[in-house]
Amino acid sequence: MSTRLNKKALEHARSLLRTGDVVRDERDDWSEHAPSTDVENAFIDKHGMDEFALWHLGEDTSATEGTKGRYSFPYGDFRRLHRCAVISAESRAGQYDHTSIEKALKDLLSDIDDD
């Protein structure tokens, strides 16, 4: 598995922060705020896989293109950037030694908290 930083997604997350589309929630809120599988599928049906990819900071280049399994480390609910998602993703990225993704998430969290 070779997961790399999705730079387009990072730019999308930063644009959400610039426009104020941010939920400054707490660490454990992501389990309640994360989109369900049904919501993900409906989003893909309406907006396509390229838009789905913009909401995930990780891309597994060994996974099949055009599948949900290719994307990891979500940071929002398809409308807003969620602080709790960034915290959760940063922790997981660190666990699995995805250092570039972990650093991007750490920087994003800092920007959220400083804003």
What pLDDT digit, counting tens, does each position of 18-43 carry?
A: 999 999 999 899 999 999 999 999 99
Reply yes or no on whether the pLDDT at 1 is more than 70: no
Question: What are the sequence ranges of the domains in the chain?
Answer: 3-114
H or E segment to which residue 66 belongs? none
Give the Cα separation of 107 and 97 in Å (integer): 16
H or E segment to which residue 87 belongs? helix 83-95
Average pLDDT, the chain: 96
Rounded average pLDDT over 47-72:
97
Cβ(5)–Cβ(61) below 8 Å: no
The Cβ-side half-sphere exposure at 63, using a 13 Å CA radius, reads 14
* pLDDT value of residue 38: 98
Q: Which tokens go with 111?
A: 């920007």
> Which residue is it, tokens 């104020």?
20
